Amino acid sequence: MSAEFGKVAVLMGGNSAERDVSLKSGRAVLEALLNCGVDAIGIDTAHNLFGQLLADTYDYAFIILHGRGGEDGCIQGVLEHLGIPYTGSGVLGSALAMDKYRTKQVWQGMGLPTPSSIVLNEHTDFEAVATQLGFPLMVKPVLEGSSVGISKVNNQAELRQAWETAAQCDSLVIAEKFVHGAEYTIAVLEGKALPVIRVETPRDFYDFEAKYQDDHTLYHCPCGLDTEQEQRLQTLAEQAIQAVGVTGWGRVDVMYDAKQKPWLLEVNTVPGMTDHSLVPMAAKAAGLDFDALVLRILKTSSLS
């Protein structure tokens, strides 16, 4: 089986705010491929990417770059140009899913539920934003992942500061209506949703520390929903991913409100593959161990 893949470049690291997480994910993926007998080589894309890719002949690329440069269509375009099939979504799906604001616009246009949002900038009437969305609300940089630069805002005094914090990460920032309730995440592999995971954190919200550093974060799989509810959530995740052109694999984050209505938050086209990561957890619940999961993802490689 391993011979069919030839030589595989595992692309990790990069220069985004999620570099450290990407390196950890990349090392885990590389180890899994080597365990399966695949001729795989790790490449840190932070420096001389073209030189490293052209220094050898690669049959496939496993993209495990999180954030900008990895999930936004840039590396996908490079690999398209070089004719190297790669894992995950193509240029369009990657770029669109990375943009939280435009992803929400697509979902809204298709009638899929996502919290109301408003773009913030230096000319924004912050009092009007507070009146329209209410408190608490979330302020997010549009083009970052792993909750980088995100703040939960509880009052008017915090709103401008939250925008200034997010704007340091990205010039495009949104305020989003906060959803009170349980948080769920749904991994999708080859168009089919895996078992749903419910996320529970003692922190104010599921921020960067809760995702990667806090051992008190709990992940429930089975998620606690009944069979019909879980199936509806899985179907919603499949629709959300299809709507923005995400292929191969991905993960959808959802909040349930007090009336048990689901609200789509975002799509991750290159989810984490660390010991705290959710896609391996969902795959394990579906009977797929980490090495087998990595091979399944590699098999989805293509040129868009």
Active site residue 88: no
Q: Which of 266, 277, 301, 304 is catalytic?
A: 266
Active site residue 302: no
Q: Which of 58, 184, 206, 212 is catalytic?
A: 212
Active site residue 48: no
Buried b (16+ CB within 10 A) or exposed e, 16-47: bbbbebbbbbbbbbbbbbbebebebebbbbbe
Q: Which of 253, 256, 277, 301 is catalytic?
A: 253
51 near 101, Cβ under 8 Å?
no
Q: Which of 22, 146, 277, 301 is catalytic?
A: 146
* Measured distance CA(171)–CA(19) in Å, rounded: 20
Active site residue 266: yes
Q: Which of 19, 145, 170, 251 is catalytic?
A: 251
Active site residue 253: yes
Q: Which of 89, 268, 301, 304 is catalytic?
A: 268
Q: Which of 272, 277, 301, 304 is catalytic?
A: 272
Q: Which of 16, 18, 25, 245 is catalytic?
A: 18
Active site residue 209: no
Active site residues: 18, 146, 212, 251, 253, 266, 268, 272
